A and B are shown apart, each in its own frame.
Chain A
Amino acid sequence: MRKSLLLITLSSLASAAGPPVPARIEFNRDVRPILSDNCFYCHGPDKGHREGDLRLDLRDEALKAGAITPRKAADSELVNRILTDDEDDLMPPPDSHKKLTPRQKEILQKWIEQGASYQQHWSYEKPVKAAIPAGRNPIDHLVQKRLAEIGLRPSPQADARTLVRRLHFDLLGLPPKPSDMATWSDLSGKKYDELVSTLMKSPHYGERMAVAWLDQVRYADTIGYHSDNPHNVWPYRDYVIRSFNTNKRFDRFTIEQIAGDLMPGANQETRVGSAFNRLLLSTEEGGAQAKDYEQRMLTDRVRAIGNAWMGQTTGCAQCHDHKFDPITMRDFYQLGAFFADIKEPILGRREPGMMVLDAEGEKKQADISGRLAALQAEFARPRPELAAAQSAWERKALEAVMSNGAWLPLKPLTATSLKKNVNLKADKDGIVRGVIDKKRDERKQNDGTDTYMITARLPKGATGIRLDALKEKSPGIGLASNGNFALSEATLTVARNQKQEKLPVLLASATFEQRGFPAKNTIDGISDQKLNGWAVLGATGADQSLYLELASPHDDEKAVVTFTLSFAHDGNHEIASLRLSATTARPPVRAPDIALPDREVAAILRTPADKRSDPQRKKLAEAYRQIAPELAALRTKLAMTEKEKADFEAAAPKCIVSVSDTSKRTVRILPRGNWMDESGEVVKAALPGYLPKPKVEGRDLTRLDLAQWLVSKDNPLTARNVMNRLWKQFFGTGLSKVLDDLGAQGEPPVNPALLDWLACEFMDSGWDLQHMIRLIVTSHAYRQVSTSTRELTAADPYNRECARQSAFRLDAELVRDNALSIAGLLVPKVGGPSVKPYQPEKYWENLNFPTREWQNDSGEGLYRRGLYTWWQRTFLHPSLLAFDAPSREECTAERNRSNIPQQALVLLNDPTYVEAARTFAARILTECNNDNAGRIEWAVQQALQRQPTAEESKTLSMLYNRQLADYQKEPAAAEALLKTGATPVSPGLNKPELAAMTHVARVLLNLHETITRS
């Protein structure tokens, strides 16, 4: 569209008729775009929408129908229809709002006159590697060959400063430091290649390369739909960075992402790669229907494969055969079926995912596991020395069991938790069970404490209450990570006269008391002290009970009694499962000094000792080990180590990855894409019918087959697609401009031989990306100046032919990186969890389920590179958004490159940039010991890596002096400005001077030149 607009401008200004119609018409270059855009919609591959039974995308069909008579334009119906004045016959029909230009009509006629030869669409043909004369850079050979054909000459090489800056931005995304400029001031001989090699070895190279790939695979920190909650994927981002840094071959990179779990020798690295399959949007919306989202997820994945690897708009074939390309609906759903094995919830919260450990983490994990195993073995070993103590316990335990009959279990009426950090439920068996709420970490009121409210009726004459904490789960009877709990207070109230009246408790006792946490703490009236409660560490492996003796027998069996159980010890020291009972036996009500055994152990105890089986004996010994005073120290150690393991696992990085399920989802062709219509044929995974593919028989295809096919040498698309996008990174525009569509509606490459050569070389090199990048950046084409001449602008206004380099604004993340780097604030750490730099308050106020508040990081999290910023799909960080970063709801091959007022507001007022300016100013004042002119020169060197012109120096000096005068008059204003951001102001600096220099720094950081790679 850009081009056609310009052509029209040209013709209106100079009455030139656009580029002349070529002498020899070439179908793919000249004709297909016209037919595709104007005719294929009704006369193309989609049989469901075909008009007049005519296809123009196949030569035989077009000839048979009489639309085209080769070499006889006048006899061809197609020509008659495009030239006629009769609106009823005219093609394209007026109601399509499509209209052929005179030039297009001429091309079609000339093409028929020349024989109407067709070509297969260019991107479906195998790429052909042109022969290159020995000793020539192939890229320069092919670029210049094309330039010679159209009468243009390449531009001269840019100066060293421009090249060093260009290479830094293109390969690292960071500006060179003045010291780099000194090192690389001379790029003659081998020095240029050395510079390239040095940069490609930097850990920041992988970060730079990751930016575009993360767009293509729609990587983000949140699920995208509705509640837009987080999902754990950042290890995948680091995987991408690492893959580029280690120059992982692109074929392997591909296979790991699509089928890393299915590869022979799958390991943590390949599995994390397979997180690619999980990056799609998912929903937690209440009321969502599974089939609906099953279909959305399938189509999302097919679009992603089409976009990221094939350069095909596969999404068009969801509801009908593709109208322009030969992709059928069957192809679409068969591609989707490759992913039917992925284990995942269709609706709701994603699982936390696989633990991802680095070398240090693995060491730590091995250490903990080793210690734990040793303790467990020690704990489990036979202990004949305890036999006597055990039989004493058995007797007492049996007594306790026998007297337990006097206890009547209560039936809880309701059970709720006050803070909802624990989800509490009274189950039918009378047991109240609590589960830590998964979303608790996102809620503000979560301090790791909670209070249980349970209601029940007591039998008439009740004298005592027993509360059993039951061992149902690991690690113990409490919810804390060491299996412990701490009950701060237990009160009983009953509603009387519209007031809650307390039932006094005389005495509390328990079957076990942790040292310092006796049972009596539960009735001392203190409910909010962390260290004042009843706890059981050392005996968390068995049921433990609290006995409460009532001051007087309870007389009202109809009254609803509320049990309020407070747990004030943070870290979720609540009871996991509990049962309440009451007794009417005469007081005193006291806990036996042993825990009441569970039902199974009680049954064994009732069995006479000589009738017990071996497993029963073993069970008894185990039960005793759980409470034996002799083992208390060991048990505590075990519990602490179990807690250490649980804490380690909870804190370890996690990533949702691909796991193959043996039962696959059924995939049907959905008529018109309608998921409610289940009449369509069930399909299995298969590769698209229109592209070459291997024959596989006797088994179903898997994701591994898909991945291997994408990077097989017979696949004509992948290598071209990757090279086309790579070209854009280094020249500003792809060789085929429409990066996400190498199909009929895209653009044939301006230099097909070059794209083909790059694709072939890429495959021949073993998919070696760094090899290709080195070839590109060492070419003369890359090293040219980006300035244009009038002649060049006239002939090639958008620099598609590369007779020069291009200048373009840095990508959103790099705008940030550049400013932080110049300011000296950038924290160059690679990888890790996403970070949260300054974001305006309440920017997330419209998010819900749950509501959230962005908490700025502190310390280094504020100064990391842009690609580490938390990527919230529904509300992307506004500074990234302003500079065209995509939301990553869909795969994005090409970002807009806009120039809008919000960018000015961000660079001027976002605290990140104000802080960068004042920190830069502090550097200017402290690191450069010179007069103001000298300092300004130094500052320009830092920001732009060049000398200022005399005029620039003068302008900036004037600005400094004027602002200085203002701030000297108003030191409070200087003070205020310097408060922006978390970095402290160095106390030795004169504040008005620093504030004035901050303005110089702001000008430098806001310059178009500063944020432009040229």
Chain B
Amino acid sequence: MKAESFQLQDALNRRIFLRNSASVAGAAALGQLMGAPAFPNHAPRARRIIYLFQSGAPSQMDLFDPKPQMAKHRGQDLPESIRQGQRLTTMTSGQKSFPVAPSMFKFARHGRSGMELSELIPGIGGVADEICLIRSMFTEAINHDPAITFCQTGSQLAGRPSIGAWLSYGLGSLNRDLPAYVVMTSFGTGRRDDQPLYDRLWGSGFLPTQHQGVRFRNSGDPVLYLSNPAGVDRGMRRQMLDELAVLNEKDFQKFGDPETSARVAQYEMAFRMQTSVPDLVDISREPRHVLDMYGPDVSRPGTYAANCLLARRLAERDVRCIQLFHMGWDHHGGLPNAIRGQCQDTDRATAALIRDLGQRGLLDDTLVVWGGEFGRTIYSQGTLTETNYGRDHHPRCYSLFLAGAGVKKGHVHGETDDYSYNIVRDGVHVHDLNATLLHLLGIHHERLNFKYQGLDMRLTGVAGNLVKGILA
């Protein structure tokens, strides 16, 4: 009996220890050791995900969803048969007319697949045969805050865990020296004064705190408080940590509180991050041709291009969930100019990332996602002129694309009506998308849950259907 108790104490310590270290196994994955439901549920197609979030909602009919028929309806009011009494935001609900604004931009076919894409995104056009374009996304919210919160957490209510936190919780980390979920943000040149972001978009909600996304910063320490104070070098830090560990260890021997050992381990992880993070963000040894591929912005920290390159470097280091947020896509007015700026920021670097991953064989087990929180209206917000128009929010349809592990290549899924206003075929709800992302990472979305307020909470709420049509 005594021997068993020893084992029990050990097991308990180990369990608490593991629960607390953001290392190796996620808490849910640990369940496997203990016989509880475990992940992955099935052989995963992707080991990691790079989610390129385009905050503010890019206009689908100017980028991905060509509507040449609209030219002949230019300036005409949006027919009621199309609008179907849909609620509008209070930004255009008072407008007297809703003039159809065809896209100013030309579309052309790309690659062997012949995917039709806008002249704004020639770079993405160049990798058209790698991507799987969904033209029939839809969502439930019409304003930015609730909508982006919904995409990220599956709920419009603030405070639920984000998709990256769920993945960290379910699958754990593959890297001992870096967080499982890394977030980077960049400002758009299309609209500098654009929609804000919130901590909750990468928060852990009710999941244990270690699963929250760690935001890499664009200036100062890449991770908050990473640098030693001035006047303290690495040797001194090491010495100090050693002494700290000795003292904590004594405390553990005296009281046997497993949290003590866990804390020692966290200090070690923090110490390793002091090397691993600077190493990660040091791109000085990237070859010229790689830097060139991402474009001139790549050498300016904090740009979308620089973040794309870091995303690849994080993927190489097996970070589970890498998420970029690029701001500036909310184009209520002056869309043609603003969207040019946004595409300038993102098109080349996005394509470069996909190519770069491909060249290194990483695209086989990395899933890339590109998209925003909703779509935009075919009718112009404000005055429609020869060279200018704006577009309001539109939740009923939008476009998003994926590339890499487990998804079809050079494929278009779903279809909208002539006005890019309603979906006519194969609608994909945000919950469906998230269920599918989890599926590709080896998780059945109904099984990744956490008891909170009496419910088995999920990323996909009580909905979500696998989108089989996009699976390779």
Q: Which residues does A use to contact B, with CB under 8 Å?
A: 1, 4-6, 8-10, 12-14, 97, 224-228, 281, 283, 285-290, 292, 313, 315-316, 324-325, 676, 738, 740-741, 743-746, 786-788, 790-791, 793-794, 797, 807-809, 840-843, 845-849, 851, 873-876, 878, 881-882, 884, 887, 889-890, 896, 898-906, 908-911, 914, 949, 951-952, 955-956, 958-959, 962-963, 966, 972-980, 995, 999, 1002-1003, 1006-1009, 1012, 1014
CB distance from A954 to the nearest CB of B (A): 10
- What separation, in Å, do the CA atoms of A224 and B199 have in the docked complex? 11
Q: Which residues does B use to contact A, with CB under 8 Å?
A: 2, 4-9, 11-12, 15, 20-22, 31, 34-37, 87, 89-91, 142-145, 157-159, 185, 193-200, 203, 208-210, 214, 217-221, 223-233, 235-237, 239-240, 243-244, 246-248, 250-251, 255-257, 259-260, 262-264, 266-267, 269-271, 273, 325, 327, 392-393, 444, 446-447, 451, 453-455
When C-beta atoms are compared, the residue in chain A nearest to B210 turns out to be A900
Q: How many A-B residue pairs have CB under 8 A?
A: 282
Once A316-B454, A744-B454 are accepted as A-B contacts, the answer to whether A8 and B246 lie under 8 Å apart by CB is: no
Q: Does B15 lie within 8 Å of A1007, measured CB to CB?
A: no
The 5 residue pairs across chains A and B that have the minimum distance between CB atoms: A745-B454, A977-B231, A976-B231, A287-B89, A889-B158
Q: List 7 A-B contacts (CB under 8 A).
A: A97-B446, A283-B145, A909-B227, A909-B228, A910-B225, A973-B233, A977-B232
Q: Does B267 lie within 8 Å of A904, measured CB to CB?
A: yes
Once A289-B89, A848-B193, A999-B240 are accepted as A-B contacts, the answer to whether A952 and B231 lie under 8 Å apart by CB is: no
- CB-contact partner of B199 in A227, A292, A876, A882, under 8 A: A876
Q: Which of B21, B247, B257, B269 has the largest number of chain A CB atoms within 10 A?
A: B247
Q: Does B225 lie within 8 Å of A909, measured CB to CB?
A: yes
* Chain B hits for A875, CB < 8 A: 198-199
* Chain A hits for B91, CB < 8 A: 286-287
- What separation, in Å, do the CA atoms of A158 and B11 have in the docked complex? 27
- What separation, in Å, do the CA atoms of A975 and B230 have in the docked complex? 9
Once A8-B34, A13-B4, A887-B199 are accepted as A-B contacts, the answer to whether A285 and B219 lie under 8 Å apart by CB is: no
* Chain B hits for A790, CB < 8 A: 2, 5-6, 9
* Chain B hits for A882, CB < 8 A: 209
- What separation, in Å, do the CA atoms of A849 and B210 have in the docked complex? 30
- What separation, in Å, do the CA atoms of A922 and B151 have in the docked complex? 51
Once A324-B454, A899-B263, A1008-B263 are accepted as A-B contacts, the answer to whether A846 and B250 lie under 8 Å apart by CB is: no
When C-beta atoms are compared, the residue in chain A nearest to B158 turns out to be A889
CB distance from B127 to the nearest CB of A (A): 29
Q: Does A905 lie within 8 Å of B270, measured CB to CB?
A: yes
- CB-contact partner of A787 in B144, B223, B255, B393, under 8 A: B255
* Chain B hits for A1002, CB < 8 A: 240
Once A5-B31, A316-B455, A908-B270 are accepted as A-B contacts, the answer to whether A225 and B145 lie under 8 Å apart by CB is: yes
CB distance from B256 to the nearest CB of A (A): 7
CB distance from A11 to the nearest CB of B (A): 9
- CB-contact partner of B221 in A12, A840, A973, under 8 A: A840
* Chain B hits for A887, CB < 8 A: 158-159, 199-200, 203
- What separation, in Å, do the CA atoms of A286 and B446 have in the docked complex? 35
When C-beta atoms are compared, the residue in chain A nearest to B140 turns out to be A674
* Chain A hits for B12, CB < 8 A: 6, 9, 793, 797
* Chain A hits for B444, CB < 8 A: 97
Q: Does B34 lie within 8 Å of A974, measured CB to CB?
A: no
CB distance from A917 to the nearest CB of B (A): 9
* Chain B hits for A9, CB < 8 A: 8, 11-12, 15, 34
- What separation, in Å, do the CA atoms of A1009 and B255 have in the docked complex? 10
* Chain B hits for A741, CB < 8 A: 453-454
Q: Does A900 lie within 8 Å of B22, measured CB to CB?
A: yes
Q: Does A1006 lie within 8 Å of B244, measured CB to CB?
A: yes
- 19 additional contacts, CB 8 Å, given A225-B158, A842-B220, A979-B231? A10-B8, A13-B4, A13-B7, A97-B37, A285-B144, A287-B91, A290-B90, A315-B453, A845-B218, A882-B209, A887-B203, A889-B158, A898-B208, A901-B22, A901-B273, A909-B226, A951-B250, A977-B229, A1003-B243
Q: Does B159 lie within 8 Å of A905, measured CB to CB?
A: no
Q: Does B225 lie within 8 Å of A908, measured CB to CB?
A: yes
* Chain B hits for A1014, CB < 8 A: 255, 257
CB distance from B362 to the nearest CB of A (A): 26
Q: Does A842 lie within 8 Å of B159, measured CB to CB?
A: no
- What separation, in Å, do the CA atoms of A874 and B200 have in the docked complex? 7
* Chain B hits for A10, CB < 8 A: 8
- What separation, in Å, do the CA atoms of A10 and B11 have in the docked complex? 9
- What separation, in Å, do the CA atoms of A896 and B165 have in the docked complex? 14
* Chain A hits for B199, CB < 8 A: 874-876, 881, 887
- What separation, in Å, do the CA atoms of A881 and B210 have in the docked complex? 11
* Chain B hits for A676, CB < 8 A: 87
* Chain B hits for A906, CB < 8 A: 224-225
* Chain A hits for B255, CB < 8 A: 786-787, 807, 1014
- What separation, in Å, do the CA atoms of A966 and B447 have in the docked complex? 55
Once A315-B453, A790-B9 are accepted as A-B contacts, the answer to whether A224 and B225 lie under 8 Å apart by CB is: no
- What separation, in Å, do the CA atoms of A786 and B199 have in the docked complex? 36
- What separation, in Å, do the CA atoms of A851 and B197 have in the docked complex? 11
* Chain B hits for A228, CB < 8 A: 196, 198
When C-beta atoms are compared, the residue in chain B nearest to A791 turns out to be B5
- CB-contact partner of B247 in A745, A848, A1007, under 8 A: A1007
- CB-contact partner of B250 in A288, A848, A952, A999, under 8 A: A952
- What separation, in Å, do the CA atoms of A746 and B454 have in the docked complex? 6
- What separation, in Å, do the CA atoms of A843 and B224 have in the docked complex? 9
When C-beta atoms are compared, the residue in chain A nearest to B33 turns out to be A9
- What separation, in Å, do the CA atoms of A806 and B195 have in the docked complex? 46
Q: Does A899 lie within 8 Å of B262, measured CB to CB?
A: yes
* Chain B hits for A788, CB < 8 A: 256
Q: Which of B145, B219, B451 has the largest number of chain A CB atoms within 10 A?
A: B145
Q: Does B219 lie within 8 Å of A842, measured CB to CB?
A: yes
* Chain B hits for A97, CB < 8 A: 37, 444, 446-447
Once A791-B5, A1008-B248 are accepted as A-B contacts, the answer to whether A975 and B327 lie under 8 Å apart by CB is: no
- CB-contact partner of A1008 in B8, B240, B259, under 8 A: B259
CB distance from A288 to the nearest CB of B (A): 5
* Chain B hits for A962, CB < 8 A: 239
Q: Does B240 lie within 8 Å of A1003, measured CB to CB?
A: yes
When C-beta atoms are compared, the residue in chain B nearest to A319 turns out to be B462
- CB-contact partner of B196 in A325, A874, A878, under 8 A: A874
- CB-contact partner of A980 in B15, B159, B197, B229, under 8 A: B229
- What separation, in Å, do the CA atoms of A843 and B21 have in the docked complex? 26
- What separation, in Å, do the CA atoms of A132 and B449 have in the docked complex? 43
- What separation, in Å, do the CA atoms of A958 and B203 have in the docked complex? 42
- What separation, in Å, do the CA atoms of A225 and B147 have in the docked complex? 12
- What separation, in Å, do the CA atoms of A773 and B219 have in the docked complex? 48
